[in-house]
A and B are shown apart, each in its own frame.
Chain A
Amino acid sequence: AQKITQTQPGMFVQEKEAVTLDCTYDTSDQSYGLFWYKQPSSGEMIFLIYQGSYDEQNATEGRYSLNFQKARKSANLVISASQLGDSAMYFCAMRKDRGQNFVFGPGTRLSVLP
């Protein structure tokens, strides 16, 4: 069975600094996808970034990048130049194959300090 671990229940970061949110996963599948979602206090789930298990390069999307270490089964999210609007819950999720459901981690609550 697939499992996602996010060991940081809460993180603080100073505005304009970079922050890394940890995600490790457990799967026996060779092919899978890793996703990060942001959930602000308003509750919606906002897709941030995707990494495929066979992608050789780390994914980047604006201020978001993914530090993917396949051998260690980790997919950490890096947010550069944090902004106050980045304060939210962040969920790491894994999907085995297209059309398959997501398995979510417990989330990390990020607070950006002015």
Chain B
Amino acid sequence: EPEVTQTPSHQVTQMGQEVILRCVPISNHLYFYWYRQILGQKVEFLVSFYNNEISEKSEIFDDQFSVERPDGSNFTLKIRSTKLEDSAMYFCASSSDREDQPQHFGDGTRLSIL
């Protein structure tokens, strides 16, 4: 069964550094998402992407964040200047255009900011 893949599984970065999290969504999916989950807390929406542009973003997704689909397969989340509070699990997800279909999540990237 096709799946969403995320790399790396764990990223350790110094505060203030830039980090790029990578995702390969399911190939025939049209909608792409990033969520984050701070340890022990609920999953929070960051941004959704459709037709090569951001379709929706949350208050969390400020100017430090950006997303890109640089080619036909990858979907990236960039954090420009990381802060301690960016430490979290970041999930990429993708979905088809059928409303009864779920979002398929990758296994996540655990980001640790030192």
Which residues does A use to contact B, with CB under 8 Å?
Answer: 33, 35, 37, 43-45, 47, 50, 52, 91, 93, 95, 97-107
Contacts and interface: CB of A to CB of B under 8 A. Distances in A.
Most buried by B among A35, A52, A95, A100: A100
B105 A45 contact: yes
Contacts of A103: 45
Contacts of B35: 102
Nearest to B45: A101
Given A35-B102, A43-B107, A47-B104, A99 B97 contact: yes
Interface residues of B, number: 32
B26 interface: no
Contacts of A35: 102-103
Contacts of B55: 99
Contact of A107 (B42, B44, B50, B58): B42
B30 A52 contact: no
Interface string B88-114: 010101011111111111111010000
7 contacts: A98-B31, A98-B98, A98-B99, A99-B50, A100-B56, A104-B45, A107-B42
